[in-house]
Amino acid sequence: MEFRSAFCRSALLLVLLVLLPLSASASTKLYIVYMGEKKHDDPSMVTASHHDALTFVIGSKDGAMKSIVYSYKHGFSGFAAMLTESQAEELAKYPGVINVKPNTYGKAHTTRSWDFLGLNYYEKSGLLKDAMYGEDIIIGVVDTGIWPESPSFNDDGYGPVPARWKGVCQTGDAFNITNCNRKIIGARWYSAGATDDMLKGEYMSPRDFHGHGTHTASTIAGGQVWNVSHHQGGLGAGVARGGAPRARVAVYKVCWGVGGNFGDAAVLAAVDDAINDGVDVLSLSLGGPNEIHGTLHAVARGITVVFAGGNDGPTSQSVQNTVPWVITVAAATIDRTFPTTISLGNNEKLLGQSLYYNATVSSIKFHSLVVVDGQSSAINFTGNVVLWPEPYNIRNDTINLLAKEGVKGIIFAQGNTVNVLEILDACNGIMPCAVVDKEIANRIASYATSTSMPVVKVSPAVTVVGNGVLSPRVAGFSSRGPGTKFPGILKPDIAAPGASILAAVGDSYKFMSGTSMACPHVSAVVALLKSVHPDWSPAMIKSAIVTTASVTDRFGMPIQAEGSARKVADPFDFGGGHIEPNKAIDPGLVYDIDPKDYTKFFNCSLDPQEGCKSYMGKLYQLNLPSIAVPDLKDSVIVWRTVTNVGGSEANYKVVVEAPAGVNVVVEPQVITFAKGGSQSATFKVTFTARQRVQGGYTFGSLTWLDDNTHSVRIPVAVRTIIQDFVSDTA
């Protein structure tokens, strides 16, 4: 039997962090200056052009250097700077500047991600309201179980369990029948096949030992809980709630132990039970090397299945759970950061990121600074703050070991280490820890060598929310396409918030990061859509989410993807883009799929134990809301059918953004729906390679626009090839 690691194991990840040198004066405000496409490949030249623009309006190079806060130089060109109003006005006229907008700050909310997505609890209209907060939608959460005492699952004010519910409440260790209620309406656990190692210390019951399942379930459906924060320490303080706060939760515990491991058999059993129990949505924040084909069974029964795409980014071809009938979710950042001030003895103040809230007065003071350089073995840790280079090779328990050595704080140079968040969290109540990017790390290091008695002070983190935080961005850890099993299917499908998400763990609340946290965001939106459109198939719901997604941020700038070099996000980073729940309610057109088509393409048995043996035909002919042609030699014809779910009279025109090196012709170019006429239409897309190259993928989109507000956009990825089986996925 094969066991796989749930994403919960690697859930605690840190996004690449933004750092800003502090500089402010009373009369200036933070402005964001957008300059469009970057004019140079070399980022330092792009930044130099920002300095030039600023020097022009400020009058001195020195002043320009003091005013700039961020330089956007990787995917596009722009910067943020502290400016007076008249300087901002002057900059707007500077050649190459497209717009200059003041930075604004929003109100802090714990589950910031839902307000960030436009699903404000008190909004008078919109998806959340129309869906009656997910009332009576049943969400199956296949995960590490649940902590039923969490205030997020309080069932006060809930009506009876929906009559169609056929599930059960399985009892066991520390979990009796009273732990199910009108909120947690069912709970099952699957320990068969789990090894002794996995079960060590575990509750043999639906009770959540790990914390991951409680986090994901409360992100989807947690009720409103006031005044919570990360470990109740103040970071991210506000109101916690799920995206579908009135939905009901059905718990399927399949992941066990500190690693949150699971076996296929258990997951299949859970899926099978969930179908029969009567869930509307299945949320699976887990994955492994194998695809869980049994979920087709659920989709064929009208249940939308949502999977996390994996935390193995930014490496290409790392996305998991790539079967076409599920929604595969990438993780993005939100508009919240936790900056911490690092003060050097020379009065320089730098910003890093931290989760340090539990500061003791004795720790917030200047300490001697020592640099760990990986060379010298005799480092004097005692009484000092250390600058730790990458790779850190540091575990969370290293913090305690260092604390025993008398270390007073740690500043980490940013690396691609996956557990930075966990490490930063482990410092709480022990010593201040912060992470900085390499540029800042170099400044600290050069300060340390410039003086005989270098000192540094690390202050507690503060919460910053709002437009000043460039977001969303695809998180560095989020797995990337193309999928390796079915390159004719574009994955991931969609991106949703998954970085530093605050949700319930045990009786408290805690940040976690990962596609595991992004997946429940999509599951909640699915629940709301299902409530508004009970007759929509899983393919229609997925289509509505993908075709209305956003590819630009709130400044109209292209969404970026974090990685070793930041870049403009492409469909292999975020599928259709970043989820826009209030648009998904009214997509105009949808790409529907009869579940039988999946079996036709995949030759799958609906018996989940048998799964899919092989696939035949070209997968890009599946009527998905995306097109991926991995093998374009001369030309390829792809068919798609759209179904009108807007007004019965509509007129759509196509707009194509062709991938580089490829001609794209759509026929017909106009689709008209008339009252009483057919409400679906088929169109033909011909892709022709302009050059014969053994190429990489290039990207584009195909959008149907009506006379109203509907913009039905699908992502397109095409790879031209000369020979089969010679590939370049870059």
Residue 483 C-beta: closest distance to ligand NAG, Å: 20
Applying CB under 6 A, the span of 230-238, 344-352, 557-565, 673-681 interacting with ligand NAG comes to: 230-238
CB 722 within 8 A of CB 633: yes
| Binding status of residue 700 toward ligand NAG by CB under 6 A | no
- Using the structure block, give the residue that is written with the tokens 């035909």: 617
Which helix (H) or strand (E) segment holds residue 369: the answer is strand 367-371
| Binding status of residue 178 toward ligand NAG by CB under 6 A | yes
Nearer of residues 166 and 613 to ligand NAG, judged by Cβ: 613
Nearer of residues 25 and 449 to ligand NAG, judged by Cβ: 449
516 is catalytic: yes
Residue 403 C-beta: closest distance to ligand NAG, Å: 10
3-state secondary structure of 310: coil
Asked if the bond preceding 482 is cis, omega within 30° of 0, the reply is yes
Q: Token pair of 651, please?
A: 């007129």
Cα distance between residue 484 and residue 461, in whole Å:
41
Residue 525 C-beta: closest distance to ligand NAG, Å: 29
Which helix (H) or strand (E) segment holds residue 58: the answer is helix 43-58
Applying CB under 6 A, the span of 56-64, 99-107, 421-429, 549-557 interacting with ligand NAG comes to: 421-429
Which of 207, 215, 231, 491 is the binder for ligand NAG (CB under 6 A)? 231
Nearer of residues 12 and 664 to ligand NAG, judged by Cβ: 12
Which of 150, 219, 340, 358 is the binder for ligand NAG (CB under 6 A)? 358
- Count the Cβ atoms, other than its own, within 10 Å of residue 345: 17
Terminal-to-terminal C-alpha distance of the chain: 34
Q: Token pair of 201, please?
A: 């210390």
Residue 253 C-beta: closest distance to ligand NAG, Å: 17
| Binding status of residue 603 toward ligand NAG by CB under 6 A | yes
DSSP 582-603: HHHT--SEE----HHHHHHHH-
The interface mask with ligand NAG, positions 243-272, x = CB under 6 A, is: ---------------x--------------
Nearer of residues 65 and 359 to ligand NAG, judged by Cβ: 359
| Binding status of residue 176 toward ligand NAG by CB under 6 A | yes
| Binding status of residue 605 toward ligand NAG by CB under 6 A | yes
Which helix (H) or strand (E) segment holds residue 560: the answer is strand 560-561
Applying CB under 6 A, the span of 44-52, 204-212, 343-351, 382-390 interacting with ligand NAG comes to: 382-390
| Binding status of residue 382 toward ligand NAG by CB under 6 A | yes
| Binding status of residue 311 toward ligand NAG by CB under 6 A | no
Nearer of residues 449 and 691 to ligand NAG, judged by Cβ: 449
3-state secondary structure of 215: helix
Which of 27, 315, 380, 609 is the binder for ligand NAG (CB under 6 A)? 380
Binders of ligand NAG among residues 101 to 140 (CB under 6 A) are none
Q: Is the dihedral of CA 417, 420, 421, 425 positive or negative?
A: positive
| Binding status of residue 514 toward ligand NAG by CB under 6 A | no
Residue 429 C-beta: closest distance to ligand NAG, Å: 3
- Gyration radius of the chain's alpha carbons: 26
- Cα-Cα-Cα-Cα torsion 102, 107, 113, 116, nearest 10 degrees, comes to -40
| Binding status of residue 616 toward ligand NAG by CB under 6 A | yes
Nearer of residues 298 and 455 to ligand NAG, judged by Cβ: 455
Residue 571 C-beta: closest distance to ligand NAG, Å: 29
Nearer of residues 176 and 694 to ligand NAG, judged by Cβ: 176
Which of 75, 233, 263, 294 is the binder for ligand NAG (CB under 6 A)? 233
Nearer of residues 256 and 591 to ligand NAG, judged by Cβ: 256
3-state secondary structure of 259: coil
Applying CB under 6 A, the span of 379-387, 495-503, 690-698, 712-720 interacting with ligand NAG comes to: 379-387
Measuring CA to CA, which residue among 138, 225, 224 is closest to residue 184?
A: 138
Residue number, nearest CB to ligand NAG: 429
3-state secondary structure of 133: helix
3-state secondary structure of 466: strand
Nearer of residues 121 and 555 to ligand NAG, judged by Cβ: 121
Residue 596 C-beta: closest distance to ligand NAG, Å: 14
| Binding status of residue 215 toward ligand NAG by CB under 6 A | no
Measuring CA to CA, which residue among 24, 160, 177, 157 is closest to residue 103?
A: 24
Residue 705 C-beta: closest distance to ligand NAG, Å: 39
533 is catalytic: no
- Count the Cβ atoms, other than its own, within 10 Å of residue 79: 25
| Binding status of residue 227 toward ligand NAG by CB under 6 A | yes
* Strands of the sheet with 627-632, listed across from one edge: 627-632, 711-720, 697-706, 650-657, 670-673
Q: Token pair of 463, please?
A: 């919460």
Applying CB under 6 A, the span of 225-233, 343-351, 555-563, 714-722 interacting with ligand NAG comes to: 225-233
From residue 673, how far is each of 265, 278, 302 by CA, in Å? 47, 36, 27
The interface mask with ligand NAG, positions 424-463, x = CB under 6 A, is: --x--x----------------------------------
Catalytic residue among 115, 136, 143, 493: 143
Angle CA 651–653–658, to nearest 5: 160
Amino acid in the structure at residue 251: V
Q: Token pair of 437, please?
A: 């990017």
Cα distance between residue 128 and residue 716, in whole Å:
30
- Using the structure block, give the residue that is written with the tokens 């919460």: 463
Which of 59, 159, 374, 383 is the binder for ligand NAG (CB under 6 A)? 383
Site size with ligand NAG, rule: CB under 6 A: 24
Catalytic residue among 516, 531, 626, 727: 516
Cα distance between residue 523 and residue 327, in whole Å:
9
Q: Is the dihedral of CA 123, 307, 642, 717 positive or negative?
A: positive
Applying CB under 6 A, the span of 323-331, 380-388, 632-640, 712-720 interacting with ligand NAG comes to: 380-388
143 is catalytic: yes
Crossing angle of the two packed helices 515-532 and 538-547, in degrees rounded to 10: 110
Q: Token pair of 196, please?
A: 């002794």
Which of 396, 416, 550, 680 is the binder for ligand NAG (CB under 6 A)? 396
Binders of ligand NAG among residues 556 to 595 (CB under 6 A) are none
Applying CB under 6 A, the span of 613-621, 624-632, 673-681, 707-715 interacting with ligand NAG comes to: 613-621
Cα distance between residue 448 and residue 540, in whole Å:
59
Q: Which long-range contacts (CB under 8 A, 24 or more apart) does 270-273 make?
A: 270/140, 270/142, 270/188, 270/190, 271/142, 271/295, 271/297, 271/298, 271/608, 272/297, 272/608, 273/167, 273/188
Cα distance between residue 71 and residue 79, in whole Å:
4
Cα distance between residue 302 and residue 537, in whole Å:
6
| Binding status of residue 232 toward ligand NAG by CB under 6 A | yes
Nearer of residues 613 and 690 to ligand NAG, judged by Cβ: 613
Residue 407 C-beta: closest distance to ligand NAG, Å: 10
Catalytic residue among 50, 210, 212, 367: 212
Cα distance between residue 247 and residue 281, in whole Å:
11
Which of 613, 633, 684, 692 is the binder for ligand NAG (CB under 6 A)? 613
Nearer of residues 347 and 614 to ligand NAG, judged by Cβ: 614
From residue 611, how far is each of 5, 205, 290, 608 by CA, in Å? 21, 29, 11, 5
Cα distance between residue 8 and residue 457, in whole Å:
34
Q: Which residues are catalytic?
A: 143, 212, 516
Interacting residues toward ligand NAG by CB under 6 A: 176, 178, 226-227, 231-233, 258, 358, 368, 380, 382-384, 396-397, 422, 426, 429, 603, 605, 613-614, 616
